[in-house]
Structures are given as structure tokens and as C-alpha cells.
Structure 1
């Protein structure tokens, strides 16, 4: 009886690899590391997406974020780790009258008045229907920058 491993010592070497180095281990300068961590806190994309774009593993970026939070807490500066919730106020529109039930149609109805009102640090911004998304984003970013 022969086994598949019987010829292990008699056949020649077909492939031989030499690993020189520790793989993908890199030394990141502090300013590059800080910019990547700041980008991960921007909220524009996920932490994993930021890590992928910089050829990092997500766990490495999460570790950097945790180290930054720890350093900031030691200095007495709390770092906001999650989303910030603001109070939402919903007010009924004064000039919109309800349609009688007998006259309703099957078409979806849009009210004539619709807006989103943001108030950040005493600054109120009202965004009406049809506003350009680029302009909305620019206004919100400008409000965030003034904080």
C-alpha cells in the first residue's frame, strides 16, 4: 500500500518562497495619521471606506480613533464619538386646509408649504422644497465650521 505522502522526500522542490520583511507594516507620520482620523470623523463616509481608501484595515483606523479619544479625554477635551441629536420642532402649516374625505383622489397630494428648519447655535436656516442639494450641503457645512 502506498500513500500520497510517500514521495515527499524523493521529489524535487517545485516552489520555494522567501519572505523578507514584516509584510505591510508601515510607520505613519503623526500628521498623516491625524488627517486620516479627522477624515473618518467627517461623517461623509463610513470609517471602513476611509480605511480602504488609505489601504488600512478598518481595525487599525478604529484603534487610531480610540487612541485619539483617550488622549483628548486625558487633556479634558471630550471628543464627540457619535451623531449629535438636535431637537426637531414640527409645526402644522397654517394656510393648508384639510381636503374633505369625499373629494380625495388617488393621486399623492403634496402640501404647498414644506420646509426644513435647522437651528444651530442660535442661527436658524429654513430650507424650502426644491432647494439645490449642493447649496444645502454648503450651508450646513458653513454652520458646522462656525461652531
Structure 2
């Protein structure tokens, strides 16, 4: 065993050769302090992220964890869904607007075989049918 290699209690030697680390990313923020993001900043970053082709590169450029961006996106979606009004179980009432009483001058004129009859808007349907049938019978 190579004595120059550092070992800990967690190391296990299973015969797999160790490969050197090729790339380490260090996010250079304010060490020991968390950044505080306003809602406007979160919205702007999430909307920019949605338009980005490579989200990992987008996060690297802004020194933000991709997991944080995805968390913000999920939370904003939940907030938007919660803002929608839920369906109401109780009936919604529409105010009833009373129309004016039918004017007696509102009428139709029916002409059959040279006879003209004016029928009021307030006339019952069965009476109108009887009048038209009588006119048709008289014209025949």
C-alpha cells in the first residue's frame, strides 16, 4: 500500500485506481453568509432560466446553485396555482332585472288571403294558433 496517500476511516481499498480530479467549481460568494434574494430577483432569474438553453451554465454564470433555481421555479408555480380562485360550491346569483310590461302597441300583423289580423305581444300562444288556423281555413 502507498504510504503517501492520505487515508481516513471512511476509505476502503477495493482496488479501484484513483483518478485525479480534473475540475473543481468554487462559487465565490460571500463566505459564511447567505445571500438574500428578493421576490423580484427570483422572478427575474427564473424567467431568464426558462429562456436559457443550458441551465447549468446559466447558474454558473450567476454563481447560483441549479437546485436553488429549480426550487424557486417550483415555489413560484405553487404560488401561482394557489392564487387562482378555487371553484365555488355554492351557486352564484345573478341579479334579476325586470323587463317592462309588454306594450299593447307591440303587435304583429298576419295577412292571409287578403285578411289582416293584428296580434298583441301579450296574446296567449293557443289563441294565436287558433286565429292563424281560422284564417287559413277561411282562405281555402
Greater relative contact order: 1 or 2 (C-alpha under 8 angstroms, separation 6 or more)? 2
Alignment TM-score, normalising by the size of structure 1 = 0.34
Which structure is larger by alpha-carbon Rg, 1 or 2? 2
Q: What is the TM-score normalised by the length of structure 2?
A: 0.35
